[in-house]
Structure 1
Amino acid sequence: MAGALRQWFGAVFGGLLLLGVSACSPVKILNAVTPDSTFDKTAGIAYGEDPRQKLDVYVPRHPLEDAPVVVFFYGGSWNSGAREDYTFVGEALASRGIYAVLADYRLYPQVRYPLFLEDGARAVAWTKAHIREYSGNPQRLYLMGHSSGAYNAAMLALDADLLHAVGMSPADISGWIGLAGPYDFLPIKNPDVRPVFFWPDSPPQSQPINHVSRGAPPALLIAANEDDLVNPVRNTGGLARKLREYGVPVQDLYYSRPSHVTLVATLSRPLRRLAPVLDQVVSFVRHTPDSVNATAEPAIVAPQP
């Protein structure tokens, strides 16, 4: 997770240079080649008093029927990240008719577990209360995240206490999507993550896999086969198995071409050929619960020719 952005920068920068694009960083490159014709954006909306408690709303120019809404949380090992770096995610969803809410949250060392999750819950509560003002449907509310952001989405979907604290419940969530998420990672090996979770006394209740219960929202879990940062077998595969044991609809997909970090980059227009992640997300949002099956086998997707 932490430091992986440096690897991603190198990979994406090289790939985009092949496309003849130049800029000062791969994230800025991705956003520079992201069109703004598919959405209207309202930026910097406060959902709390802290400067980090802000979000952006991407309103699709051509929304789907019933206007589904996805709240997205970025990764960065709970140490780094900024919502403006993920314009390509907001555009990807809006281009397919889905409302996107990209939320910042407080990071370490300002806060530790579980305070950043409380921020996430407040952002979701804001969305449910206000998204109709933008013509979105609060009854079709989804959570999504990448890496540590996928952890945030998982905890909000599975740990009912987090949403109960803001007057909501997991029943208010139509489904959630995790990209390369850490869901079962004790004992913590990453030195950047250890202090976030009070290592070596990291609480077991900090793990999403320990909050699975019947009636949890449907899930779409996507991982990279060759992920050397978050073990996909233990985390994505393990959580999917436990969700199935409890009868929760879940689909888990494993792609061979992306890495841990480039998995989220496949949502950008230049890198979608790496894996059809956006197509899977859109299908899940449009057809839940029909798009997932509690007994379905995991799908391992080989590299495209």
Structure 2
Amino acid sequence: MPRPAVPFFLAVLIVIIMGCSPLAPVNAVIGEDTYRLLADQPYGDNERQMLDVYLPVVGLDEAPVVVFFYGGSWRSGDRADYAFVGEALASRGIITVVADYRVYPEVTYPAFVQDSAAATAWTRTHQQDWQAQPQSLFVMGHSAGAYNAAMIALDKRWLAAHDLDPGMLAGWIGLSGPYEFLPIINPDVKPIFHHPRTPKQSQPFYHVSPQSPPALLMAATPDKLVDPERNTRQLAEALHKADVSVETHYYESLHHLTIILVMAKPFQWWEPVVDEVHDFVMHQSANASP
């Protein structure tokens, strides 16, 4: 039986979150005893090329690593607002890196993808600082951040700039991501992707190959901002046709924002998003070489 629509108290919280202090009410109640924080780590020279690392308090040497990119239409976002993602995964034995990246109008495509690749490369290099033997590495994102993660996992150009290859990834995770959105309809996104001269190569969908890493794709069925049929389902079908391992989950009770919000400790009971991410990471880690 599908769950009912998002309850009233959660809808009210979303309204608060979208106000002047994004996600602060959520982060205020997650606690700090389930992880150790390495804050404000630079991976570049720009003030937005910074990341935070959430280390599990136990099992560090065996912990897989997830690099997380938030959404915000490539226009906004702050890694500190997503402490709840770091806590959710670190408390389950996953090292979690939450990265900022440059956004519009300071930059346009592909700078934010380049930043995401640089943050991933920084993480790969610094795993040796946290673990005796670097464990499996994943990239993950929500909304625009899921696009960033998809581009890193599917388009070899970005990691190649760091002498790396998507084959080093044990998998990638996308929550409500836009993976094929041409022609661009959203007026806020048009200048970011150089509309009407948006290159086809900017779309993750067109980079699927049999060498693509395993994927976990999740979406909210009622999502009106990023169409789950055109994006999540279409990409999953392309991966499947390429004989790439892909797992999908669709949630009728969630929406574009709540699919990431339910990773926070106060709301994890509503849908098992964080559990599905954990299970995917641990399963792929057990079947991959670091």
TM-score, normalised on structure 1? Answer: 0.87
How far apart, in 2, do the equivalents of 1:31 and 1:136 lie? 31
SS in 2 for 1:51: coil
Say yes or no: does 1:203 pair with 2:166: no
Partner-residue secondary structure (3-state), 1:34: coil
The one of 32, 38, 42 aligned to 2:34: 38
CA RMSD after TM alignment: 2.1
Shift of 1:48: 0.5
> Residue 211 of structure 1: CA displacement?
0.3
Q: 1:138 and 1:150 mapped to 2: Cα distance?
A: 24
Provide the residue aligned with 2:12 in structure 1. Answer: 14
- 1:240 maps to 236
- The residue type paired with residue 185 of structure 1 is F
1:51 alignment partner, one of 40, 47, 50: 47
Contact conserved, 1:218 with 1:289, CA < 8 A, in 2? no
Give secondary structure in 2 for the equivalent of 1:157: helix
1:139–1:174 contact (8 Å) kept in structure 2? no
Summarize deviations over 1:48-88 as a string: whole Å, max 9, x none: 01111000010011236621000000000000001000000
SS in 1 for 2:197: coil
Contact 2:136 2:285 in 1 (8 A): no
Could you tell me which residue of structure 1 aligns to residue 227 of structure 2? 231
The answer to whether structure 1 residue 156 and structure 2 residue 156 are counterparts is no
Q: Distance in 2 between matches of 1:16 and 1:237?
A: 26
Point out where structure 1 has 5 or more consecutive residues left out of the alignment: 1-7, 18-22, 292-305
Query: Identity of aligned pairs, percent?
Result: 51
* Structure 2 residue aligned with 1:260: 256
Letter in 2 for 1:14: V
Is the aligned partner of 1:177 residue 2:173? yes
Q: Work out which of the residue numbers 81, 84, 87 in structure 2 matches 1:88.
A: 84
Q: May I ask how many residue pairs the two structures share in their alignment?
A: 278
> In the superposition, relative to structure 1, how do residues 251 and 64 fare at CA in structure 2: closer, same or farther (>3 Å)?
farther
- CA change 1:207–1:36 in 2 (3 A) is same
Residue 149 to residue 287, structure 1, CA distance change in 2 (3 Å): same
| AA matched with 1:236 | T
Q: CA deviation at 1:151?
A: 0.3
Question: How many Å apart are 1:272 and its aligned residue?
Answer: 1.3
- 1:252: Cα distance to partner? 1.0
Q: Does 1:285 align with 2:281?
A: yes
- Cα distance change of structure 1 residues 65 and 28 upon mapping to structure 2, 3 Å threshold: same
Contact 1:69 1:136 in 2 (8 A): no
